[in-house]
Structures are given as C-alpha cells and as structure tokens.
Structure 1
C-alpha cells in the first residue's frame, strides 16, 4: 500500500473499484468512475491514467478466466481481433504519456459525456449469430485498431465502441460481446500498462488496491452476464454516478 494513502482512500478505491469492475464486464463506463477517483485522490492525470490500467488488467484476467471456466469464448477470434487493437493501444498509450494535464482533463470530460449519451440511446433488437473468423475483414480490423488506439489513450467508455462494432455491425448477442470485450481489453491493456510503467506513470499501491475492488466486481459480473437483461439496471447506476463526477470535474 502506498504510504500516502489514508484509510478513507483505501476504502474509496475498494468500493468504487468493485462497482467499476462489475460495470466494465456487463456494460461500459467503469473507468468513468475510477479514473476521476484517482485524480481526486491527488494523482496527476497521466499517472491516474496509467495507474487505472493495473485494475483493468487484473479485472480482465478475472473475467476472462471466469468466462472460460463456464465454457464461453473463442480464443482464435479473440486473438485475431486483439492484434490490431494491441497495435493501436501502443500508439494511444505513447500519446497519452505526454499529453498536457489541461488537454487530458478536457478529453476526459468529453469522453464521459459522449459515453453517457451513447448509454442513453436504445439498443436496436438484432438477429444475432455466432462470430467466426470468416466474418472478419479489413473494416473490422481497422475498427479494432481504432478501439485499441482510444483504449490505450484513455479507456473511458471503450465498452460502448465494442458494442458498436461487435453488436451493431457484426451482430453478436450482447452476452457474447462482453466475453470478447474482456479478452481483447486484457490483451491490449498489457502493452499499454507497460508503456505507462516505463514512463513512471503507474502508482502500484493505489493500482493494486483499486484492482482488488475491480476483481471482486468482475467476479460477480461474470455470473450475471448470461442474463439478457442483466446489465439494464447497471446503466442507470453508472449514469447517476457519472453525473456527480462530471459536476465535480467541471466545477474543479
């Protein structure tokens, strides 16, 4: 544990981390809670951005392991989708390590507003089908590169982008979108975390404390994922908390 952390800091990281881990697996927007929290606890924006990746990585390990034990996932397709996302994340993380604080805070607010608006939009009912390698193509791979670029840079609301590509374009059912999402996020977050760590922009004590909460939330979310309506109430919980955080960021 970082010596600078108080008991209140630890409890806040564990509690909000648990909520974020649950949200990240079932829907989108967990980083809209945890990234501002790390900044409110005194970390510079770039360091908060890097530290948040510790929790995302371990949360994703938990979710991927849980889904695989339940027999869900397609390793071949996940790897095919992850390769361009990894390339994008390396570029995005590299750009994020040197962005001015004021610019990052503006990007964070815009990302949170954009993700919140997307979450308010109704999801169309689609005839979904399993995802196989032959259904992939240049457009999908380029979209994965862009998702990786965005995720490497800031991660906030990246789940909404996966819903656009995997659900709306490739027409995979939403529970399976979550299975692919956590696998791809894990694979592209590892190199992004390395970039931040090499630039001394990770505070491991805070990141690991946050990760304990994220892991717990992810563990519970894996068991809710199979319910088609499992994430409906999560959206409103997320939006309520995000509204309060946005108000704090804007008035800061």
Structure 2
C-alpha cells in the first residue's frame, strides 16, 4: 500500500466507524473505497468485515463499560441473524462481479433514500424477550442474510425493525445494533477468509480508522441526542461514490 492509500483507509475508516455506530451507512463509504483501491468486489466485501468486526467490538465494549447493553435480548436477536449471515456470506463468495456491483449500487441508492425520509417520533419502551415473536426473529434472519452478503445499509434495516416496529429509543437501537452485528459478522468473516477473500493488511488499516470512529461515537451516542449532521455527511459522500461507480 502507498502512503496515500493508507491515509485514505484511515480517514474514511474513521468517518465510517462513527457513522456505523451513530446511524447507518458506513459501509457505503468503505466498500467502494476498497474496490477503488484495486480489490475485486468479493475480496473488498470480505476485507471490509475486518474493520466492521473490530469497530463493533470497540463499540460493544464501550457501551458495556458505561452500563449499557442487554445481553439476553442481544443473543435472542443474534441467533437467527448468525444463521442468515452464514448463508449470505456463502452466496457472496461466488456471485459474479457484475451482479455484486449492481446490488451494491441498488443498496446504496435504497439506503440513501431511506435516510432522506423524516424519522418519526415514537413513544418508545424497553425491549424484553417476551416481545420477540416469530416475525421479529424472521426479520433478524433476513437482516443477517443481507448483512452476510453485503453489509451496506444494514443499519437502516435495524432502524426499521428496532425503532419503527419494536419502538426502542434510538440510543438503545445503536447499542443493540452493534452487539448483534458483532455476533453475526464474525462467522461471515470466517466464510470470506476460508475462501481467500480477505486482505488482512488493508482490512486492519481500515479497522484502525473504524475503531477510532466507533470509540468517539459511543461517547456521542450516550451523551446527547446524536449528531444529525452525520446523515448529511454520509449522503454527500455517497452521492460522489455513486457517480464514480456508475459513470467511471
């Protein structure tokens, strides 16, 4: 890697780590970056999981030190997500490049449109395991399936299920989101690694930035109502990346 590539991975990784914990959309920045740096789509997809794994571990650890988290609920939600992620990652290892790139563009556009929609103000309540019916567990399986395949925009899906359907407050959505992601992303990473679709050097460099961003986001998430400007920063950067993917 050149110095410029290292700096790009650290900078974009930092922004993505912050975005992933606070909201959604960090992989819309990091996955295309890895592809722009020369990695084939499947390899970029696998390499991106290194940063997400360490970023999620950092966020989970930070939240737990502050006394935030719900291990029992997280495990209940994570089990179907893990099963889905194994299937999704396996599919991603052999899907043709052209199909993957099309899915990437569609996912980025779809996530961006959702982020532009106004976030409704809901009467939220704590989440207990008795509220986790078959529909929610199926939704977690599908999120895991999608996340195992591409990960881009997974935070948007968590917002739909945890905030809009289960009506958990947004800071706790973020706490649960990173815990579930950590539990399902590790098996997915192993699938990519077994298929030699992980470049560890680039993944660890990106992870340094992601971890730093996640560390900062944990403090912001729990000390305020969150950074609303994160959404607009993400959308501006995603628009530029989409132009590059579609027209270059």
Please, what TM-score do these two structures have when normalized by structure 1? 0.98
Cα distance in 1 for residues equivalent to 2:15 and 2:225: 18
Superposed counterparts of 1:181-192, under 5 Å: 181-192=177-188
Give the drift of 1:231. 3.0
Question: Are 1:231 and 2:227 matched, yes or no?
Answer: yes
**Is the Cα–Cα contact under 8 Å of residues 175 and 228 in structure 1 kept in the other structure?**
no
**What are structure 1's unaligned runs of at least 5 residues?**
none
Mean Cα deviation higher: 226-235 or 172-181: 226-235
Please, what TM-score do these two structures have when normalized by structure 2? 0.99
Superposed counterparts of 1:15-94, under 5 Å: 15-94=11-90
RMSD of aligned Cα (Å): 0.6
Superposed counterparts of 1:1-252, under 5 Å: 5-227=1-223, 229-252=225-248
Give the drift of 1:230. 1.2
Residue by residue over 1:159-206, the C-alpha shift from the partner in whole angstroms, topping out at 9 and shown as x without a partner, is 000000000000000000000000000000000000000000000000
SS of residue in 1 equivalent to 2:222: coil
The number of residue pairs the alignment matches comes to: 248
Cα distance in 2 for residues equivalent to 1:240 and 1:180: 27
Cα distance in 1 for residues equivalent to 2:139 and 2:224: 25
Runs of 4+ with deviation above 4 angstroms? none
Cα distance in 2 for residues equivalent to 1:140 and 1:230: 26
**What are structure 2's unaligned runs of at least 5 residues?**
none
SS of residue in 2 equivalent to 1:97: helix
